[in-house]
Amino acid sequence: MVEKVRDKAEERGLKVLLVSAYRNSKTCPIHGVEMSFPLGPKLGLCPRGHWVHRDVASVLNMLKKATEKLEGKYAEAVKRALSAVDEKMLEEWSRQVLEAEGSIRTPRPAVLARASPMTPAGRGDGDPDGDRGRL
């Protein structure tokens, strides 16, 4: 699979960087400290008080590791973008991931399961379709 990705990237003049996935999902991407997982394996709690989904943490931590392998101006651009990430963003992204996974549901307005009939009972003309044979 890596070779196929490399081939496609090469066709487009892009470079592929391999980054270790080791322990990325257990480390807070903002503070660099190990998170605890008191509510289960998906949602980590940073010792500084905010929640991060382990997939969000992993992606951001791998991106940080990739900056070590990037050329100067690209590394600086990625570092600038990562420096703008705050706890509020992490929690929002984590909520969106949980929602996409189906772990949580966004409240939706109630919808009637069945609408009332257009012609009240007992007022029809005996035609069960109500169209008197015309369509």
Among residues 66, 9, 58, which one has the least CA distance to residue 29? 58
Residue 105 has pLDDT above 80, yes or no: no
What whole-number distance in Å separates Cα of residue 124 and Cα of residue 75? Answer: 74
pLDDT digits (tens, 9 = 90+) for 92-102: 999 999 999 98
pLDDT of 83 strictly over 60: yes
Dihedral, CA of residue 75, residue 46, residue 33 and residue 95, to nearest 10: -30
Identify the bridge partners of residue 52 per DSSP, sorted by sequence position.
44
In this structure, the strands spanning 51-53 and 43-45 are: antiparallel
Q: Is a pLDDT exceeding 90 seen at residue 49?
A: yes
Give the C-alpha separation, 6 to 135, whole Å: 60
Mean pLDDT of 63-76: 90
